[in-house]
């Protein structure tokens, strides 16, 4: 119920929305379920009729031979309708399968799209294993709900109601006696639901936790190995796994507490029928045929009662799972195109301006950037230097609008970045991030990721720019070498150079390098610096660096400290100023002098 406040639709409303295109089929399936369950009453009904026929034959001294066609007609009807019922059940199963798979397909695609479009904040909130649980296990619970749970509910309801109505048409008083215990079932099921709902929620969390552990350990396997933590991780997983299993068992056991009551009521039904029915027969209120119809159908009242626990369990599993999916389904990225964003299909000139920009992470306690103001003119190279954690990465993330400033403005070509369409803005920015992520694909595929139409020569050219072509050529399969997940199989510096080639390959008007040459040797770095100065397309470069050798030739150097610009100017000016940068130069040059001697 609380869902209604959280999301625009209730769980079932949401399911209905996602059955688009299959709603007619679903209604057909529901009718099918109702139909084949009503048909279940047919055999007992005709059996009752047969008994009546025999009784009449006997009591009125008629011969059965004369009434043979009635007898055969009844038998034929019973067989025919049973066959018909089998066909309906078959078609019905197919229909549910189609509807549930259709809805699943739709939701899965929608979720994937949603997740893709999320901003950085989303990815720092949700863990991969948790998201994976949502698009796998949780989605399966949703499918199960359509294909099985809803069907069981309709089945139980139809059976119960049609049997009840049928009973009333035979004898209302006997019907009333037989049905008198039903309300207790609802009471029991209601209490059961209250108890079991939170357990299914907990179960769902545990599953996600377990998946996250597994996912992190598999992708972080190198760390596990490096620290020889296999035993620990194994035991840890064993514990989580055990806990999950035990919670599962505990959840299943809840019904066992309620089960005896339900079973007692279900078993009491035939006894009541025997007692009251017997009295009514003796009293002449009903005849043997009526009694047979009642007793052959009493299961149609008892079975739905017995099913309740199972249905409720499954429905709670669905509820817990669908909440998790709907959370993503209805989540909105905060950083999206503004309604009046301008389209800018052509190339940017590449002027980047920060105008009194301050920024704090939403979950952070302190401002990370304070009052940052600078301009990178088209074609200029601006270096950002500063100690670790001073806000360099945070700063450059404002340019492609991964995060938005709390105050101040970031402009590209004089227009605030939020006024561009995100794709237009980001298409113009080549970014090599600090932690390199490569796809499990060929090296060529990785380099041309942002610019699919590259020729082999062009791929090679960008690899040359990033001083990667030599080592790629030395690999047995060259550009066709498949790199592992996240670039396993390459050295840190090799990965960085491929990521640089990938950023260059889109011929960006703004190139942002976040510590991209930190893992390459001095000589290679020199080569890279050289090619960056001689690119065959105009490009503004913003380079985060730690080495003076990188910053030396830059047009402008920003020294960042605690989120503020401490000093800015070119190498000569900053050395002359004798501040932090000058100290850094002394330190690094001193070091290299020491190592040279
Ligand atoms: P290095 O890459 O180590 O040289 O540091 P940096 O200058 O790139 O620092 P960065 O901009 O990554 O971080 C600046 C500060 O912001 C640090 O104190 C971080 O702890 C903090 N920070 C970085 N990312 C996040 C984030 O996603 N959420 C929160 N709350 N804080 C963050
Ligand atoms: Mg950083």
pLDDT the model gives residue 500: 94
Does one domain contain both 489 and 552? no
Does one domain contain both 515 and 498? no
Has residue 335 been placed in a domain? no
Has residue 410 been placed in a domain? yes
Does one domain contain both 208 and 265? yes
Summarize pLDDT for 476-521 with one digit per residue, the tens: 889 999 887 766 688 889 999 999 999 999 999 999 999 998 888 8
pTM of the model: 0.82
Has residue 6 been placed in a domain? no
Has residue 3 been placed in a domain? no
Measured from the Cβ of residue 498, the count of other Cβ atoms closer than 10 Å reads: 25
Distance CA 338, CA 92 (A): 47
Does one domain contain both 164 and 301? yes
* 358 phi/psi in degrees, rounded to 5: -125, 145
Q: Give which of 254, 242, 255 is closest to 206, Cα–Cα.
A: 242
The residue among 471, 489, 506 that closes a domain is 506
> Residue 12: left if φ>0, alpha if ψ -120 to 50, beta else—which one?
alpha
CA of 5 to the centre of ligand 2 (A): 40
Higher pLDDT: 465 or 53? It is: 465
Ligand 1 contact, 124 CB (< 6 A): yes
Query: Ligand 1 test: best mutation among 126, 127, 364, most atoms within 8 Å of CB?
Result: 364
pLDDT the model gives residue 55: 80
Residue 485 DSSP one-character state: G
Tell which atom from ligand 1 comes closest to the C-alpha of 397.
11
Task: Reply yes or no on whether the pLDDT at 419 is more than 80.
Answer: yes
Q: Give which of 319, 328, 396, 327 is closest to 359, Cα–Cα.
A: 396
Residue with the two structure tokens 């809805």: 103
CA of 227 to the centre of ligand 2 (A): 25
- Contact between residue 366 and residue 360 where contact means Cβ atoms under 8 Å apart: yes
Residue 336 DSSP one-character state: -
pLDDT the model gives residue 592: 54
pLDDT the model gives residue 486: 67
**Which residue puts its alpha carbon closest to atom 20 of ligand 1?**
389
Task: Reply yes or no on whether the pLDDT at 595 is more than 80.
Answer: no
Ligand 1 contact, 393 CB (< 6 A): yes
For the chain, the domain total comes to 3
Contacts of 462 (CB under 8 A, 6+ apart): 447, 454, 501, 502, 504, 505
Distance CA 195, CA 231 (A): 37
Task: Reply yes or no on whether the pLDDT at 3 is more than 60.
Answer: no
The residue among 329, 356, 372 that closes a domain is 329
User: Which ligand minimizes its atom distance to the CA of 546?
Assistant: 1
> Residue 588: left if φ>0, alpha if ψ -120 to 50, beta else—which one?
alpha
Does one domain contain both 446 and 322? no
Does one domain contain both 587 and 467? no
Does one domain contain both 262 and 359? no
- Contact between residue 296 and residue 44 where contact means Cβ atoms under 8 Å apart: yes
Q: Is 131 helix (H, G, I), strand (E, B) or coil?
A: helix
User: Which ligand minimizes its atom distance to the CA of 359?
Assistant: 1
**Which residue puts its alpha carbon closest to atom 28 of ligand 1?**
361
Q: What is the CATH number for 594? A: 3.40.50.300
What are the distances in angstroms from CA 513 to CA 143, 400, 459, 550, 556?
45, 13, 19, 11, 15
- Helices (H), ranges, 145-181: 150-170, 172-179
Has residue 1 been placed in a domain? no
Query: Ligand 1 test: best mutation among 124, 389, 397, most atoms within 8 Å of CB?
Result: 389
For the chain, helix, strand, coil in percent to 5 are 65, 10, 25
- Structural domain including 404 reads 341-428+508-597
The residue among 329, 349, 384 that closes a domain is 329
Residue with the two structure tokens 């794709």: 423
Summarize pLDDT for 542-590 with one digit per residue, the tens: 999 988 888 888 999 999 999 999 999 999 999 998 889 999 898 888 7
Tell me the average pLDDT of the chain.
Answer: 90
Two tokens at 76? 């034929």
Does one domain contain both 278 and 164? yes
Ligand 1 contact, 388 CB (< 6 A): yes
Please give the average per-residue pLDDT across 73-80, as a whole number: 84
Please give the average per-residue pLDDT across 161-180, as a whole number: 93
Range from 1-5, 360-364, 454-458, 486-490 carrying the lowest mean pLDDT: 1-5
Does one domain contain both 482 and 585? no
Distance CA 414, CA 380 (A): 16
Has residue 4 been placed in a domain? no
Task: Reply yes or no on whether the pLDDT at 252 is more than 60.
Answer: yes
Ligand 1 contact, 387 CB (< 6 A): no
Over the Cα atoms of the chain, what is R_g? 36
pLDDT the model gives residue 594: 43
CA of 277 to the centre of ligand 1 (A): 79
Q: Which residues pair with 482 in a beta bridge?
A: 442
Please give the average per-residue pLDDT across 132-136, as a whole number: 91
pLDDT the model gives residue 591: 54
- Contact between residue 362 and residue 403 where contact means Cβ atoms under 8 Å apart: no
Task: Reply yes or no on whether the pLDDT at 359 is more than 50.
Answer: yes
Has residue 109 been placed in a domain? yes
User: Which ligand minimizes its atom distance to the CA of 403?
Assistant: 1
pLDDT the model gives residue 98: 94
Q: What is the CATH number for 100? A: 1.20.1560.10
- Contact between residue 252 and residue 138 where contact means Cβ atoms under 8 Å apart: no
Contacts of 490 (CB under 8 A, 6+ apart): 438, 483, 498
- Contact between residue 561 and residue 580 where contact means Cβ atoms under 8 Å apart: yes
Task: Reply yes or no on whether the pLDDT at 119 is more than 70.
Answer: yes
Q: Give which of 534, 519, 504 is closest to 471, Cα–Cα.
A: 519
User: Which ligand minimizes its atom distance to the CA of 433?
Assistant: 2
Has residue 5 been placed in a domain? no
Does one domain contain both 307 and 443? no
Summarize pLDDT for 369-415 with one digit per residue, the tens: 999 999 999 999 999 999 999 999 999 999 999 999 999 999 999 99
Please give the average per-residue pLDDT across 329-342, as a whole number: 90
- Contact between residue 81 and residue 37 where contact means Cβ atoms under 8 Å apart: no
Distance CA 256, CA 264 (A): 13
Distance CA 98, CA 431 (A): 44
Ligand 1 contact, 390 CB (< 6 A): yes
Please give the average per-residue pLDDT across 180-195, as a whole number: 91
- Helices (H), ranges, 18-67: 23-39, 42-59
Model confidence band, residue 272 (pLDDT cutoffs 50, 70, 90): very high
**Which residue puts its alpha carbon closest to atom 27 of ligand 1?**
124
Contacts of 267 (CB under 8 A, 6+ apart): 302
Does one domain contain both 247 and 106? yes
CA 359 to mean position of chain CA atoms: 30
Does one domain contain both 478 and 583? no
Q: Which residues pair with 427 in a beta bridge?
A: none
Distance CA 300, CA 116 (A): 49
pLDDT the model gives residue 514: 92
- Helices (H), ranges, 273-389: 278-283, 288-297, 299-329
């Amino acid at each position: 119920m609380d869902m209604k406040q959280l999301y625009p639709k209730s769980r079932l409303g949401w399911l209905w929305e996602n059955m688009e295109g299959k709603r007619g089929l679903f209604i057909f399936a529901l009718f099918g379920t109702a139909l084949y369950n009503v048909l279940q009453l047919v055999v007992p009904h005709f059996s009752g009729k047969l008994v009546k026929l025999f009784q009449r034959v006997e009591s009125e001294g008629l011969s059965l031979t004369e009434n043979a066609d009635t007898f055969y007609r009844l038998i034929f009807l019973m067989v025919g309708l049973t066959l018909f019922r089998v066909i309906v059940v078959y078609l019905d199963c197919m229909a549910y399968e189609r509807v549930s798979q259709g809805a699943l397909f739709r939701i899965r695609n929608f979720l994937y799209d949603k997740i893709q479009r999320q901003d950085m904040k989303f990815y720092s909130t949700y863990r991969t294993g948790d998201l994976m649980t949502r698009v796998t296990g949780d989605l399966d619970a949703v499918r199960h709900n359509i294909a099985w749970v809803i069907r069981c509910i309709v089945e139980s309801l139809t059976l119960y109601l049609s049997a009840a109505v049928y009973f009333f048409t035979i004898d209302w008083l006997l019907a009333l006696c037989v049905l008198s215990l039903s309300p207790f079932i609802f009471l029991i099921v209601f209490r059961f639901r209250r108890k079991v709902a939170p357990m299914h929620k907990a179960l769902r969390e545990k599953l996600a936790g377990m998946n996250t552990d597994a996912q992190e350990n598999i992708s972080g396997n190198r760390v596990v190995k490096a620290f020889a933590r296999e035993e620990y991780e194994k035991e840890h997983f064993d514990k989580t796994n055990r806990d999950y299993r035990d919670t599962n068992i505990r959840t299943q056991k809840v019904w066992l507490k309620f089960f005896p009551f339900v079973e007692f009521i279900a078993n009491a039904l035939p006894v009541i029928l025997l007692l009251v029915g017997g009295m009514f027969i003796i009293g002449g209120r009903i005849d043997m045929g009526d009694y047979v119809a009642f007793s052959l159908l009493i299961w149609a009242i008892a079975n739905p009662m017995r099913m309740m626990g199972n249905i409720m369990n499954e429905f709670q599993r669905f509820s817990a799972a669908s909440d998790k999916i709907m959370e993503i389904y209805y989540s909105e990225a905060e950083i999206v195109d503004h309604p009046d964003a301008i389209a800018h299909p052509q190339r940017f000139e590449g002027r980047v301006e920060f105008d009194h920009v301050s920024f704090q992470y939403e979950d952070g306690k302190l401002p990370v950037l304070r009052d940052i103001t600078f301009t990178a003119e088209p074609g200029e190279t601006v270096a950002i230097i500063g100690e670790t954690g001073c806000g360099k990465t945070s700063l450059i993330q404002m340019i492609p609008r991964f995060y938005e400033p709390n105050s101040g403005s970031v402009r590209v070509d004089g227009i605030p970045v939020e006024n561009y369409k995100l794709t237009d803005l980001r298409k113009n920015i080549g970014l090599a991030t600090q932690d390199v992520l490569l796809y499990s694909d060929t090296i060529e595929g990785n380099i041309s990721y942002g610019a699919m139409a590259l020729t082999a020569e062009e791929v090679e050219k960008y690899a040359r720019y990033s001083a990667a072509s030599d080592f790629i050529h030395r690999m047995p399969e060259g550009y066709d070498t498949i790199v592992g997940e996240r670039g396993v199989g390459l050295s840190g510096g090799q990965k960085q150079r491929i990521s640089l080639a990938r950023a260059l390959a889109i011929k960006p008007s703004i190139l942002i390098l976040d510590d991209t040459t930190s893992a390459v040797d001095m000589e290679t770095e020199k080569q890279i610096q050289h090619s960056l100065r001689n690119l065959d397309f105009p490009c503004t470069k913003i380079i985060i660096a730690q080495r003076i050798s990188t910053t030396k030739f830059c047009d402008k150097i920003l020294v960042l400290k605690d989120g503020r610009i401490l000093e800015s100017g070119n190498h000569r000016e900053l050395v002359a100023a004798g501040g932090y940068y000058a100290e850094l130069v002394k330190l690094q040059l001193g070091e290299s002098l020491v190592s040279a001697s």
